[in-house]
Chains A and B, each alone.
Chain A
Amino acid sequence: MSNEEIIHKLKPIITTYAPASAALENLNEESDFIKDLNINSANLVDIILDVEEAFGITIDNTSMEKMLTVKASIEVIKEKLSEK
C-alpha cells in the first residue's frame, strides 16, 4: 500500500475525531495530531482503534506512542501490514 493510499484511508478516520480546520483540509504527512489537528490523547486512542480495524492490524503500546503524526502513523501501519 502506498503512502497516498494510506492517507486516503486515514483521512475519514481522523475527520471523525478532529474539529473542522484548515489543517484537516490540508492533511499531509507532516500533520501532527495534537499540535495541528487539536486531537486530545483520548481521541488519539479512538483513532488508533479505528486504524486497527480499517487496516486489519494490531497496534502495541510501543507503536502507539510513536503515532503522533501522520508520517509516523504511516510507518507503523506499513510495518504492521508487512508482519501480517
Chain B
Amino acid sequence: MVKMTSREIITLLPYSKPFLFVDDIESINEDGVTGSFTFNPELEFYQGHFKDHPITPGVILTETMAQIGLVSLGIFLLSAEEHTFKGQVVMTSTNVEFLRPVFPGDKVTVISEKIYFRFNKLKCKITMQNQAGDKVCYGELAGMFIKNING
C-alpha cells in the first residue's frame, strides 16, 4: 500500500478555508483514521450560533467528523488502489448523537473505524473527543466516492 503523509492527504481534500475542518491526521491505515481540528474563535458562524453565546453548530461537528473520518480515509483507501483520487465525494447518511458542547478555541480529535468500503461507499463508526478526552459526539456516517469519467 502506498504510504501517504498527513500533509499529502490534507492537500488532496476537496475543501479549503473557511470550510476545511482538518488540521492534522495523526494516524491512518486501511481500517481507520485519527485526526484533529482546532476551532478558530474567528470562524464566522460563531457570530450567529448563538447570539452572544458562541457554540460550534452540530452540523459543523458532523462535517468535521465526515472530513476527517470519511473523506480523508476514503482518499487514502482509493489512492492506495489507484494512485491519486481525483473524483468527487458525496455524504449520503449521518446518524450522530451529541453529548457535549464544543466552544470556540476547542481542539477536537476524531477517531474513525471503517465498517465497510464496498462499491465506492465508505461507512464508518466515528467518535469525536475534546481535549479532556471526553466524548463529544459519535455516530455512523457514510459517503460515496464518485470517479470522474474523464479523470
At the interface, yes or no: A49 with Cβ under 8 Å from chain B? yes
Question: Contact: A48 with B119, CB < 8 Å?
Answer: yes
Question: Contact: A49 with B142, CB < 8 Å?
Answer: no
Q: How far is the CB of A33 from chain B (nearest CB, A)?
A: 14
Please give me the residue from chain B that is nearest to A59 by CB atom: B119
At the interface, yes or no: B121 with Cβ under 8 Å from chain A? yes
Chain A residues touching B, range: 10 to 19
Q: How far is the CB of B139 from chain A (nearest CB, A)?
A: 16
Q: Which of A2-10, A24-32, A39-47, A71-79 is the interface stretch?
A: A39-47
Question: Contact: B144 with A42, CB < 8 Å?
Answer: yes
Question: Contact: A42 with B142, CB < 8 Å?
Answer: yes
Chain B residues touching A, range: 10 to 19
At the interface, yes or no: A34 with Cβ under 8 Å from chain B? no
Contact string, B138-151, partner A, CB cutoff 8 A, digits 1/0? 00001110000000
**Majority SS of interface residues in chain B?**
strand
At the interface, yes or no: A61 with Cβ under 8 Å from chain B? yes
**Majority SS of interface residues in chain A?**
helix
- By a CB distance below 8 angstroms, the chain A residues around B120 are 45
Question: Contact: A45 with B93, CB < 8 Å?
Answer: no
Question: Contact: B93 with A49, CB < 8 Å?
Answer: no
A49 to B123, CA, bound (A): 12
Question: Contact: A49 with B118, CB < 8 Å?
Answer: yes
At the interface, yes or no: B29 with Cβ under 8 Å from chain A? no
Q: How far is the CB of A80 from chain B (nearest CB, A)?
A: 15
- By a CB distance below 8 angstroms, the chain B residues around A40 are 92
Question: Contact: B116 with A42, CB < 8 Å?
Answer: no
Seen from chain A, the residues whose Cβ lies within 8 Å of a Cβ on chain B are 40-43, 45-46, 48-49, 61, 64
Q: Given known contacts A41-B92, A43-B92, A64-B119, what 18 new A-B pairs fall within 8 Å (CB)?
A: A41-B121, A42-B90, A42-B92, A42-B93, A42-B121, A42-B142, A42-B143, A42-B144, A45-B118, A45-B119, A45-B121, A45-B144, A46-B121, A48-B118, A48-B119, A49-B116, A49-B118, A61-B119
Seen from chain B, the residues whose Cβ lies within 8 Å of a Cβ on chain A are 90, 92-93, 116, 118-121, 142-144
